């Protein structure tokens, strides 16, 4: 019998075919990982996609294929296999030559601190190659997962490794853990001053500690969480129109939401939705 935590979708057609395997992480990782996505992607031509700002630290565990990663303001792309992308307040464009095979691991910022052993402030606005991290954990993990016979076995390997590292990793500040849960649970709609007051810290001290543990200042993190909520709502089947989503997500009006999309996604909401890919990213023109 198959594992209920695994779902697989596939599309076989020229010039673009893909398989996406999604896995719900072990219950013991609920505070640390929001999801795993395994992928096999083939394209007759080089494929570029737009990755918009979101509230996760993204880990790409490649089984050998190379991916070019370019920030919106970078002239030249960085070339990587396995890597970690910290929180950022801009969109990123990735490109590959026609084939990708690997796993995307989405970590909460505090989960990244616990599992990777690095303060997210050292990863923010950066894409860090696996061999630049302490030790060879990602490269060794990629080899073990690539040798596994199927997606269930690969995700089991990942679960076990993350559970082990979660036990051994550094403990985030409990006050910042509480503040992140409040902010994420409200999709960014909690004033920073309220969070600092509840903890009993000055706003300056709170902002400093939050940036160390999360990677971004609290106001910037709140902005990204609100934007991610708007993207999620617009991508749902039968979603309301953009003005209704703007109002429900706390934007001043339709134009305010569009401006945020231009900055954090590099395009208008309708353009992002029209270019949708199965993993939630979008084709980049």
CATH number of the domain bearing residue 211: 1.10.10.60
Q: Are 186 and 161 within one domain?
A: no
Averaged pLDDT of the chain: 91
- The CATH number of the domain holding residue 31 is 2.60.120.10
Last residue of a domain, one of 168, 200, 229: 168
Q: What is the pTM of this model?
A: 0.91
Last residue of a domain, one of 134, 168, 202: 168
Strand partners, 41: 18, 100
Q: Which residues contact 115 (CB under 8 A, 6 or more apart)?
A: 32, 33, 107, 162, 165, 166, 169
Q: What is each CA distance from 34 to 18, 93, 101, 170, 176, in whole angstroms?
A: 22, 22, 20, 19, 18
Last residue of a domain, one of 113, 135, 168: 168
H or E segment at 154? helix 151-168
Residue 1 lies in a domain: no
Minimal CA–CA distance to 7: which of 169, 152, 197? 152
pLDDT one-digit tens code per residue, 217-243: 999 999 999 999 999 999 888 888 999
Whether the Cβ atoms of residue 179 and residue 191 lie closer than 8 Å to each other: no
Whether the Cβ atoms of residue 283 and residue 49 lie closer than 8 Å to each other: yes
Q: Are 134 and 266 within one domain?
A: no
Residue 244 lies in a domain: yes
Residue 250 lies in a domain: yes
CA–CA gap between residue 94 and residue 71 (Å, rounded)? 9
| Model confidence at 111: pLDDT above 80 | yes
Q: Are 140 and 213 within one domain?
A: no
Overall domain count for the chain? 2
CA–CA gap between residue 7 and residue 150 (Å, rounded)? 13
pLDDT at site 38: 97
Segments forming the whole domain that contains residue 96 = 6-168
């Amino acid at each position: 019998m198959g594992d209920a935590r695994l779902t697989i979708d596939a599309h076989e057609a020229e010039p673009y075919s893909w398989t996406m395997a999604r896995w719900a992480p072990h219950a013991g990782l609920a505070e640390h990982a929001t999801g795993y996505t395994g992928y096999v992607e083939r394209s007759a031509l080089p494929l570029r996609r737009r990755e918009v700002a979101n509230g996760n630290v993204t880990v790409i565990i490649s089984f050998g294929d190379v991916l070019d990663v370019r920030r919106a303001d970078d002239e030249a792309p960085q070339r990587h296999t396995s890597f970690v992308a910290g929180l950022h307040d801009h969109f990123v464009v990735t490109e590959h030559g026609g084939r990708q095979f690997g796993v995307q691991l989405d970590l909460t910022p505090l989960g990244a601190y616990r599992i990777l052993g690095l303060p997210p402030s050292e990863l923010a606005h950066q894409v860090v190659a696996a061999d630049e991290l302490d030790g060879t954990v990602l490269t060794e993990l990629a080899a073990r997962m690539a040798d596994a016979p199927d997606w269930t076995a690969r995700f089991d390997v990942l679960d076990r490794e993350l559970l082990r590292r979660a036990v051994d990793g550094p403990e985030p500040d409990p006050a910042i853990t509480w503040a992140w849960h409040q902010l994420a649970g409200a999709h960014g709609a909690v004033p920073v001053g309220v969070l600092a007051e509840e903890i009993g810290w000055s706003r300056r001290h709170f902002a400093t500690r939050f940036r160390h543990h999360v990677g971004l200042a609290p106001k910037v993190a709140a902005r990204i969480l609100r934007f991610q909520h708007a993207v999620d709502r617009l991508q749902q089947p039968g979603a309301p129109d953009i003005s209704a989503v703007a109002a429900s997500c706390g934007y001043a009006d339709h134009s305010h939401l569009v401006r945020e999309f231009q900055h954090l996604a590099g395009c208008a909401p309708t353009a992002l939705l029209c270019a949708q890919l199965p993993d939630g990213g979008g084709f980049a023109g």
